[in-house]
Amino acid sequence: MVNQTTRLSAQDWALAALKAIADGGLAAVAVEPLARTLGVTKGSFYAHYRNRDELIEAALAEWVRSHGEGGLAEFAAIADPERRLRELLITVVQAVQPLAPSVHLSLLGDRNDPRVRDAVGRVNGARLELMTRTYRELGLPPERAAHRARIAYAAILGLLHLAQTDEDSPRPTGLSHEATAIFLPS
């Protein structure tokens, strides 16, 4: 709980909304339950947002920022494409935790909402662009690089899905070793 004397920022609310989205999709974003979770009154919410839709838009923008280009910047800065891909694969696969909620997968249930479609499209686009560029730099022709990136990304999303539904998922360390063995060109 937040100390009542502590003023929450708009970002605090957006991050709480993202956690709610991960747990239950857009329907889980409701002001009163979020205020209770944060240990504040609804007045704190209205100091930053006019309504729930503004909060959802801010939460989605934060997710795009932290999981799209902004979240990939440290990997994009790695000059060696093999090292970049290896570190990217290891990081993403090791982040997959059994039964852990996922904003990305939860948003798929709300994919008909244009705000969600846009956010997921932007995150997917940034991730696929970086992976495609990396495969190109590793020597694959453009079409093969795009296909390889899409298949690797689909495998990562599949691991995320399996981890949400399988409490006996294998340890991420072993999976990251296999992912690099499979998706790094030999």
Which of 37, 159, 35, 179 is closest to 100 using CA atoms? 159
CB 161, CB 107: distance < 8 Å: no
- The confidence score (pLDDT) of residue 185 equals 76
CB 11, CB 63: distance < 8 Å: no
pLDDT string in tens for the chain (186-residue length): 444 445 899 999 999 999 999 999 999 999 999 999 999 989 899 999 999 999 999 999 999 999 999 999 999 999 999 999 999 998 888 888 776 788 999 999 999 999 999 999 999 999 999 999 999 999 999 999 999 999 999 999 988 888 888 777 766 667 778 888 888 876
Q: Which fold has domain 10-61?
A: Arc Repressor Mutant, subunit A (1.10.10)
CB 93, CB 156: distance < 8 Å: yes
The token pair at 161 is: 């899905």
- The confidence score (pLDDT) of residue 165 equals 80
pTM score, whole prediction: 0.89
Give CA separation, 71 vs 39, 92, 169, in Å. 29, 11, 25
